[in-house]
Structure 1
Amino acid sequence: MAIDTTVLVIGGGATGAGVARDLALRGCDVALVDRGGLADGTTARSHGLLHSGARYAEADETGAEECIAENRTLRDVAGAAIADTGGLFVQLAGDDPEYFEAKRDACEAIGIPVEVIDGDEARAAVPALAEGVERAMRVPDAVVSPSRLVAANARDAADRGAAVHYDSPVEGIRVDEGEVAGVAVGGALDETVHPDVVVNATGAWAGEVAAMAGATVEMRPTRGLMESVEHSDLGTVLNRCREPGDGDIVVPHEREAVLGTTSVTVDDPDDYERADWERERVREECAAMCPSLSDAAHVREWWGVRPLYEPDEAERGGRGISRGFFLLDHADEGVDGFLSVVGGKLTTYRLMAERTVDTVCERLGVDEPCRTATEPLPGGDDPDALDEFVADIGGPGPSDSDVAGR
């Protein structure tokens, strides 16, 4: 039996779940499908950093402004999905002091709170820091539990009438006379969905899904390694204050630290090499900031694939520092009512969803404002409730399996 819905959202990561929740809050009829458990792709395979914007400040003012605004918003609405750890950008001996100063100046100009401290004060705050840390900047970085965040969005969407289907991969998209006429969904749902609008929020897989509709999304997926090690006394996010490179972020969990990451272009986001040199590089570079990480006991590792948009990456050249997002309307390709949202960061998922839903609602003639910046996610300050939601979506992903639903 076919299913009719006003909006079909394909992809159940943070952005897709955020789109479904926003649509439901605005009173739209919406269905969400994902080929696996929710948060099973890029979202669940991040390092879980809630950016302050400082990482992007000197290179991408707009992206940095979005990050600090969303950082503040998520602290207000996401409750126990966020851990307020703070962050340090550390300058080691040999790192370019002008880069440090440019980042500090950019943060101050944008309005990102920043406090410069000397090496001794930094080591007093984080005793495990290397003796080679000459100075550091305190910034309002934080840590996010991706599984809790996605689960709370999905639960709120469902409670407000959205149909949420896990383990339901899209197998084909039929286009008639320039409009999407039907989406064949297999797996647990095993039905054809007839939507008025389709939102393709499948991240690194956006090009493959768009191709089913005869549309084009040029993606440049890049893999990155994260390794979690036993390390209970880090306390704050560590960022190497230099041009972005391998092994320049350490994210604290309750009893562990997540080391990241690398950036290697891949052809297939489902099938790619996991290289030993990445393991060695990440350990070595992170240990330069915090020497005790060099021999900390390995707990687990995972690779994630970034959903980078090829035209933006080509314009910036190489390993760009920006992670902007883009909303693509495929009407120009003869596929009306089919949108793809690509790029972006976990930190800005809510903003990506808001911009996408604004466009969908304009098309549908729905005159309702976005409420996701002020409406708290369910579960609030109750980690046990959030973890019940996580269990409902198939359990936590690797990035927060030590925290969510344990």
Structure 2
Amino acid sequence: MTLETGVLVVGGGATGAGVARDLALRGVDVALVERGGLTSGTSGRSHGLLHSGARYAEADARGAEECLEENEILRDVAGACIRDTGGLFVQLAGDDPGYFETKRSACADVGIPTETLDGDEAREIVPDLAPETERVLRVPDAVVYPSRLVAANAGDARDHGATIHTHAPVEDVTVERGRVTGVHVGGTVGDRIEADYVVNATGAWAGEFAAMAGLDVEMRPTRGVMLSVEYAGLGPVLNRCRNPADGDIVVPHGTEVVLGTTSVPVRDPDDYGTDPREVETSVEECAAMLPPVADAPETRTWWGVRPLYAPDEDERGGRGISRGFFLLDHAADGVDDVASIVGGKLTTYRRMAEATADLVCERLDVDAPCDTADRPLPAVDRPERLDALVAEFDGQGPTDEDVVGAE
């Protein structure tokens, strides 16, 4: 029996769940399919940093502004999906002081609030900070727990009429006369789904799904390693104040910190090698800021794959440049009822979802505004309820494994 829906969202990460929620809140009939549990792709395998925009301020003012705006929105609407920690950009002896000044000036231009502290003042906040710390730039970074965030979005989407299908991989797409006439889904669905519109929110796998519909979306995924080690009591996120490089972020949890990351191109987001030297490098470089992590016991290690859009990477020149998001309307490619949302960052998932939902509503003649910037996610004051949703959607990723279910 063929299943019918208004919009089919393919991909159950932050963006896909955000699109499903946004559309459901606008009264659109939505179904979401994810080949694994929610967050099983990139969203649940990140370092969990909620950017203030400071990391990108000097390279991409617009992208930094988006991060700052979304950071502030999520603090208001996401409750226990977020931990407000603040962040420090750490200049060590030997780091270029000019880079620090450029970043501080760029943050001021964007509107990112900052405070400059000397090494002694910084060690009052983080006593174990390296003696080589010369000064730090305090910024409003925070921590995001992606398993909770995605589950909350999916739960709210379902509460407003959406259908969420996990462990439901897309097996084939049928296109006739410039429209998708059916998406064949296996696993828990085991059927054909017909939709008025299809959203490709598969992240690093966007090219693979697009190819099923005869479309070309060129992705350039890179892998990065993260590891969590035992270290209790770190307050703010630590960022090395230098050009982005391996091992320059330390993200605090309760009794652990997440260290990361690296950036290595991969051909296949499902099949790629890993190198233990990446782990060693990340630990060594992060320990330059926070020496005790050099010998801290590891609790888990994971790799994630970034959903980088190849044309943007070619234009910008690769790592260290802010990665915006791109909404591709495939009507221009001859398939009228499909859009792909690619690139971006976990911090900007809600904005990506809003842009996508705006396009879908325009195509379907739905006149309803987005209200996700002002509407709190459900159960955000009840961590135990959020964690029950994570379990229900099989949405536990390694990023926040030590937090979800522990509160």
TM-score range, shorter chain: over 0.9
User: Which runs of 5 or more structure 1 residues have no equivalent in the other structure?
Assistant: none
Counterpart for residue 360 of structure 1: 360
Counterpart for residue 131 of structure 2: 131
Counterpart for residue 236 of structure 1: 236
CA distance in structure 1 between the aligned counterparts of 2:382 and 2:232, rounded to whole angstroms: 23
CA distance in structure 2 between the aligned counterparts of 1:155 and 1:209, rounded to whole angstroms: 25
Closer, same or farther: CA 136–320 of 1 in aligned 2, 3 Å: closer
The alignment's C-alpha RMSD in Å is: 0.7
Question: How far off its partner does 1:107 sit?
Answer: 0.6
Question: How far off its partner does 1:320 sit?
Answer: 3.7
SS in 2 for 1:239: strand
State how many pairs are aligned.
Answer: 406
Counterpart for residue 394 of structure 1: 394
Counterpart for residue 385 of structure 1: 385
Answer yes or no: is the 8 Å Cα contact 2:221–2:267 preserved in 1: yes
Answer yes or no: is the 8 Å Cα contact 1:313–1:320 preserved in 2: no
User: For residues 207-230 of structure 1, what are the alpha-carbon distances to aligned partners after superposition, in whole Å with 9 as ceiling and x for unaligned?
Assistant: 000000000100000000001000
> Within the alignment, does 1:41 sit opposite 2:36 as a pair?
no
> Within the alignment, does 1:297 sit opposite 2:297 as a pair?
yes
SS in 2 for 1:398: coil
Answer yes or no: is the 8 Å Cα contact 1:179–1:335 preserved in 2: yes
CA distance in structure 1 between the aligned counterparts of 2:396 and 2:212, rounded to whole angstroms: 30
Letter in 2 for 1:273: G
Counterpart for residue 218 of structure 2: 218
Counterpart for residue 273 of structure 1: 273
CA distance in structure 2 between the aligned counterparts of 1:395 and 1:150, rounded to whole angstroms: 8
Letter in 2 for 1:127: P
Counterpart for residue 28 of structure 1: 28
User: For residues 219-251 of structure 1, what are the alpha-carbon distances to aligned partners after superposition, in whole Å with 9 as ceiling and x for unaligned?
Assistant: 000000001000002111000000010000000
Counterpart for residue 2 of structure 1: 2
Letter in 2 for 1:62: R
Counterpart for residue 285 of structure 1: 285
> Within the alignment, does 1:52 sit opposite 2:56 as a pair?
no
Answer yes or no: is the 8 Å Cα contact 2:243–2:320 preserved in 1: no
CA distance in structure 2 between the aligned counterparts of 1:281 and 1:320, rounded to whole angstroms: 17
CA distance in structure 1 between the aligned counterparts of 2:355 and 2:372, rounded to whole angstroms: 12
| Superposition map of 1:16-165 within 5 A | 16-165=16-165
SS in 1 for 2:188: coil
Closer, same or farther: CA 145–161 of 1 in aligned 2, 3 Å: same
Answer yes or no: is the 8 Å Cα contact 1:391–1:405 preserved in 2: no
Identity of aligned residues (%): 69
Counterpart for residue 330 of structure 2: 330
CA distance in structure 2 between the aligned counterparts of 1:217 and 1:395, rounded to whole angstroms: 27
Answer yes or no: is the 8 Å Cα contact 1:251–1:259 preserved in 2: yes
CA distance in structure 2 between the aligned counterparts of 1:367 and 1:178, rounded to whole angstroms: 25
SS in 1 for 2:205: helix
CA distance in structure 1 between the aligned counterparts of 2:261 and 2:205, rounded to whole angstroms: 21
CA distance in structure 2 between the aligned counterparts of 1:30 and 1:318, rounded to whole angstroms: 35
CA distance in structure 2 between the aligned counterparts of 1:139 and 1:103, rounded to whole angstroms: 11
Q: Scaled by the length of structure 2, what TM-score is found?
A: 0.99
User: Which runs of 5 or more structure 2 residues have no equivalent in the other structure?
Assistant: none
User: For residues 57-95 of structure 1, what are the alpha-carbon distances to aligned partners after superposition, in whole Å with 9 as ceiling and x for unaligned?
Assistant: 000001000000000000000010000111000000111
Answer yes or no: is the 8 Å Cα contact 1:53–1:68 preserved in 2: yes
SS in 1 for 2:399: helix
| Superposition map of 1:241-260 within 5 A | 241-260=241-260
SS in 1 for 2:184: strand
Answer yes or no: is the 8 Å Cα contact 1:396–1:405 preserved in 2: no
User: For residues 332-384 of structure 1, what are the alpha-carbon distances to aligned partners after superposition, in whole Å with 9 as ceiling and x for unaligned?
Assistant: 22111110000000000000000000011011111111010011000121111
Answer yes or no: is the 8 Å Cα contact 1:54–1:107 preserved in 2: yes
CA distance in structure 2 between the aligned counterparts of 1:395 and 1:324, rounded to whole angstroms: 25
Letter in 2 for 1:18: G
CA distance in structure 2 between the aligned counterparts of 1:191 and 1:138, rounded to whole angstroms: 52
| Superposition map of 1:163-178 within 5 A | 163-178=163-178
Counterpart for residue 348 of structure 1: 348
Q: Scaled by the length of structure 1, what TM-score is found?
A: 0.99
The more displaced of 317-326 and 53-62 is 317-326
Question: How far off its partner does 1:395 sit?
Answer: 4.3
Counterpart for residue 15 of structure 1: 15
